[in-house]
Every structure is written in structure tokens, then in C-alpha cells.
Amino acid sequence: MLEKRILLIVSGGIAAYKSLELIRLLKRQDIAVRAVMTGSAHEFVTPLSLGVLTEDQVYGDMFDLKEEREIGHIQLSREADLIVICPATANIIARMAGGIADDLATTILLATDKPVLAVPAMNVRMWGHTATQRNIARLGKDGVDVMQPDEGGMACGEYGPGRLPEPPDIAERICALLNAPFDPALAQARGPSAIPAGPLTAQPDFAPDAKRPLHGKRILVTAGPTREAIDPVRYIANRSSGRQGFAIAQAAAEAGADVTLIAGPVHLATPPGVIRIDVESAREMQDEVGRALPADVAIMVAAVSDWRAAESAGQKIKKDGSGDVPPLELTENPDILAGLAQHAKRPELLVGFAAETEKIVEHARAKLERKRCDWIVANDVSGDVMGGANNAVTLVTAEGHEAWEDAPKDVVARKLIARIGEKIGQSE
Ligand code: C5P
């Protein structure tokens, strides 16, 4: 049987060292590997390591005349049965999706007619970014096979999807694409490593954190402002950016919860793994909150408009030239938080937010009692909290209160989720 050959493109991410393990596994499956490195891959692995393991020359510089004369980029792709990009960074994925050919790796990818497998690995936020998700969808439509990254602890200390899948899983996928038999026992066998000693083998293994504090819990989050129509073109709203609520939804998802995020009109990307429902008005938000029940925890971060126009005009209200202003009568909106506290499916833990400018604890405690929720996270909005990046909050519960220091909203979010984990989370 003819030996199968892959062309492995290694791009520059912390997971690049795992490509060495992949080469070792593939060779055990009798698959020949030839490696191409991007410029930034050199920051993570050396051509020497790749060369020793592939037992071949390592390619990288498109304008290296010797390389081009002996084996041009077309030839590199022609001699392979499959091209694998591992790890595939957000950057190379973006360049592929855009059809950019500005180095040897991307030139090969644009010139090839061979099947292509991309194995992404990147920070959780980069993976979840709308641009990356758009690029991944583009690659799928272009016929590239894209593996889903694993979830777990990241080199940067964050948690979520974005980790490179384990090398045996990648090897198995490659074998499937090559129609080659895959021997899992062989792949898993931990024989003496051919990886040269040195800093490479000292790379940390960011193993997934097995215990996630909110695993299996359903968490409902409201976020952003509401928009209350006056007529088809005008509305009442507020300056809420939604950032704190989105950060909480993200932190909850990272802690393993099943998260439903009910969002007013905001310009924010949906955090990875979160189910998002967009609404406009308070009444729509209330309906969607009801539909999202049951939930173990509800965190009501939305800045719900207290009032709406008593009657929303069906047509645009016209200036009649007389100088008289039309009357604008307001009516009160339903209090979604207070309503949830009385609901037959009241979540076990109900958390409200309160924006205060003075007597923060006193006002927050009054709100906690009036709305019958369990916790109030009170923010001091005397500064630029609305729409700002930071938040200084005081957590008020039936037992007492504690002021947290001013911190970025994602830090506040993770701290709140950690507290919720302590209160209702599972301990194994
Ligand atoms: O009464 P106040 O607007 O200060 O209460 C703030 C808390 O109540 C927040 O958790 C907010 O999401 C929630 N709220 C609500 N429905 C309203 C008003 C506020 O759920 N109509």
C-alpha cells in the first residue's frame, strides 16, 4: 500500500508544541509528514525539532530560492494527500478566509486542490469573537474541514473553548480523511518520545479543569437597556451598555452553567456557549424571562426602563407647526425581578442589581426586601459605570454586605459567579 503523506502547516500559537506529538503519532500510523512553518511559529517551536521528527526539510520562506528551485510551493501541495494546519491560529484562519497569500503557508493554501483540515487553537475570547466565528463559517463553506477546539483551562488562565484537541483525536481525524486505518492503542501508547530534550519538553500541559463549579446548573441573565417605543421611530432608553451582564453570562458559561442571556439592544458579541435572546421592550423581556424558566439562578442585570409611553403611536408623531408639543404620558413597566420573586418557578437564587448614587447599602437593602430577591449587587453609579469598563460594587445579602474594590467588569463577573458557585454549586 502506498504511504499516505500530509503537509503539516504549523502556525504560531502556544499549542504549536503539540504538533510535535502529532507528528510522532502520525508516523506510528505510517503517515509521512512534511512540515511548513509560519514566521510566528518559530517563536514556539524550532525548525530543528520539526525536522528531526519529520526526518525531512522544514519549509518556511517562500522567497528562499533554493527551496523554490528544488521544490516550489505548488510541488509541496501536489505531493501531499492532505494539508493540515495545526495549530491554526485566529490569524491564519482569518487570512485563509480572506484568501490572502502573504507567506509560504497561505500561498500553499490558496494554490492547493487537496483536502484541507484546520485544527484551531486560541484564547477563548478570540475563538468566540464574531470575526473568528464568521471566518470559521466561511472556511466551512469553502470546503475546509475545521475541528472543534476542546474546552478547558488556557495558557492565559481563562477557561472555555479554544484549546487544541488532543493529538490522538487529531490523528484519528486525519486517518479518517485519508481513509487510512487508525489504531487507537498505537496512538495512545506512550513510547519513548522522539521529541528532542530542551525547552520544548518543558512546555506546560494545560490540562482541562475537571471540576466546574456550575456544571449542570441553569442560569438566566438579563442585560442591557430596554427600548420603549413612543412611535415607530422614537423611543425611551438609557445608557446601559450591557457589558456587565454579558460578562456575567460569559463567566457563568465558563463555570460550566447552561446560560440563557436575555439582552436588550446592545452592540456586543454573544459569549461562547451562551444562548442569547434579543428583546427590545421591558414587556418582551418579561415574556422571555418567563419562557426561560425553570432556572436555578437568575441574575437580573438589565437596566429595565421604569416607564414606557402609555400609548405608543402607530404612525410617526408629526410637528404641526403650531409650536405646541405633544403630550407624552407615561405608564409604569412591570418589575421583572419582583415578578420573578413571586413566580411559581422562582429560581433558587435570585440576584438583582441596583444602581445607586448615595446611601448605597441602605437603599440596596430596602430594594432586596421590597423585591424579595436574595442578593443585590449594588453599584455606585456616581462615576462613569454606565457604559464604562469598571464597576465598584457592594454585595448585599440577608446576612450582611461586603464592598468589592473597583475592578473591570469581567473581574466583578467572575467574582460574583464564584460566589454563586459557593452558594449553590456542586461539590464532588
Ligand atoms: O428598581 P430598580 O430599577 O432600581 O431595580 C433594579 C433591579 O431590578 C435590577 O436587577 C433590574 O434588572 C431589575 N428590574 C427589573 N424590572 C424592572 C426594573 C428593574 O427586573 N422593571
* Ordered structural domains, the chain, with CATH: 4-188 (3.40.50.1950), 218-304+331-427 (3.40.50.10300)
Q: What is the pLDDT of residues 320-346, one digit of tens each?
A: 899 999 999 999 999 999 999 999 999
Nearest alpha-carbon partner for 280 in 268, 262, 267, 293: 262
3-state secondary structure of 9: strand
d(CA 130, CA 87): 20
Per the listing, cell 425553570 goes with 294
- Whether the pLDDT of residue 362 is over 50: the answer is yes
Ligand 1 atom 13 nearest Cα:
337
Q: Is 418 exposed, middle or buried (0-12, 13-18, 19+ CB in 10 A)?
A: middle
Average pLDDT over residues 377-403: 84
Please write down the HEC assignment for all residues of 129-154: CHHHHHHHHHHHHCCCEECCCEEEEC
CA separation (Å) from 315 to 229, 232, 256, 284? 11, 6, 46, 21
Mutating to test ligand 1, I would choose from 221, 240, 261, 300 the residue with most ligand atoms within 8 A of its C-beta, which is: 300
Per the listing, cell 485544527 goes with 119
Distance 405 CA to ligand 1 centre (A): 23
pLDDT at 390 (0 to 100):
83
What does the block give as the cell for 377?
A: 449587587
Distance 267 CA to ligand 1 centre (A): 21
d(CA 154, CA 164): 10
d(CA 255, CA 252): 5
CA separation (Å) from 382 to 245, 325, 358, 368, 392? 19, 32, 8, 20, 10
Average pLDDT over residues 14-19: 94
Q: Where are the alpha helices (DSSP H) in 55-151?
A: 65-70, 73-78, 90-97, 104-111, 124-128, 130-141
CA separation (Å) from 149 to 172, 203, 304? 15, 19, 37
3-state secondary structure of 173: helix
- Whether the pLDDT of residue 313 is over 60: the answer is yes
Would you give the end-to-end CA distance of the chain in angstroms?
50
Q: What is the pLDDT of residues 234-283, one digit of tens each?
A: 999 999 999 999 999 999 988 889 899 999 999 988 887 788 889 999 99
CB-defined site of ligand 1, < 6 Å: 222, 282, 300, 302, 304, 333, 335-337, 352-354, 367
Any idea what the Cα angle at residue 369 is, between residues 293 and 215, rounded to 5°? 35
d(CA 80, CA 67): 17
Strand partners, 400: none
* Catalytic annotation, residues: 156
pLDDT at 269 (0 to 100):
83
Distance 367 CA to ligand 1 centre (A): 9
Average pLDDT over residues 70-88: 87
Nearest alpha-carbon partner for 242 in 386, 412, 410: 386
DSSP-assigned letter for residue 271: P
- Whether the pLDDT of residue 202 is over 70: the answer is no
Nearest ligand 1 atom, CA 222: 12
Q: Are strands 401-403 and 393-397 parallel, antiparallel or unpaired?
A: antiparallel
- Whether the pLDDT of residue 194 is over 60: the answer is no
pLDDT at 417 (0 to 100):
96
- Whether the pLDDT of residue 389 is over 90: the answer is no
Distance 305 CA to ligand 1 centre (A): 8
pLDDT at 67 (0 to 100):
52
Largest CA distance in the chain: 91
Nearest ligand 1 atom, CA 306: 21
For the entire predicted model, the pTM comes to: 0.57
Nearest ligand 1 atom, CA 340: 20
Residue 387 pLDDT level (bands cut at 50, 70, 90):
low
Mutating to test ligand 1, I would choose from 281, 353, 393 the residue with most ligand atoms within 8 A of its C-beta, which is: 353
- Whether the pLDDT of residue 1 is over 60: the answer is no
Average pLDDT over residues 188-208: 35
